[in-house]
Amino acid sequence: MVDTKVTLSGIELDNPVIPASGTFGFGYEFADLYDINMLGTFSFKGTTKDPRFGNPTPRIAETPSGMLNSVGLQNPGVEKVISEELPKLKKCFSKPVMANVSGFAVEDYAYTCQMLDKENQIGWFEVNISCPNVHGGGLAFGTSAKNAENVTKAVKKVTNKPVYIKLSPNVTDITEIAKACEAAGADGISLINTLLGMRIDLKTKKPILANKMGGFSGAAIKPVALRMVYQVYEAVKIPIIGMGGITTAEDVIEMMLAGATAVEVGAANLVEPFACKKIIEDLPRAMEKYRINSLKEIIGGAH
């Protein structure tokens, strides 16, 4: 019997497979399709202090081996997440869940995490610092080591739960940002978020997305994600959740060899709602094929 269990900041997961934020709603939408308790956990929809309608449509564009999205963090706001979404989730998911939090000012992040901190269902925070800093000229928090450090410190002050900072790949040196987060007290790093991409409609000769540019995800970005996870594993001592282009059990193993303790599956859920279920069911076969007895033993094995 192979052992698929991993431990993420003191919390044991039955397997390392985690649906990524923005691709799995608040979980109960998928619970009608299969028992989501088979997942390691999942990262729920990016939650902000105030409700957000999101960006104008069209928000989605297909690309070869991937997709572009410019949803714009559409969510009901933290108060509604607590009063409406989490009670619905509790009925179908008995494990600790990962709370994905976004913001446009340091105070936003701290406020949202402080509100969610009281919820027993939440096991970890995943703090998305790929948002534009409205007080800092609009550049994403994740493109500046100082801004990343400030957000990490602010969130760590309001919670004792593990805090994972989700990094943007749209930087020159990903390790500089990861090290700044670690120094500021982050319990772990999540990477990568989407790359910046674009499509143009040949008929209208205009960008397909209303926002012109959007987040590029899917199988095509896996080599970039693997490279960055590999680099960050060498740069920090805290655990990593790896993501970017994961579609198979073999992809999970490859990402763990690069240095990930757990692995998120994003765009694949939007193409195939059963993607995570199939990956989890296929993991024992892939482990046996590559003579892996325990997934814990292969973390960072490629170094």
Active site residues: 131
Q: Return d(Cα 132, Cα 138) in angstroms, integer.
A: 5
Strands 66-69 and 214-217: antiparallel
CA angle 19, 52, 17 (to 5 degrees): 5
Q: Return d(Cα 39, Cα 17) in angstroms, integer.
A: 6
The residue type of 234 is: E
Cis peptide before 192 (omega within 30 of 0): yes
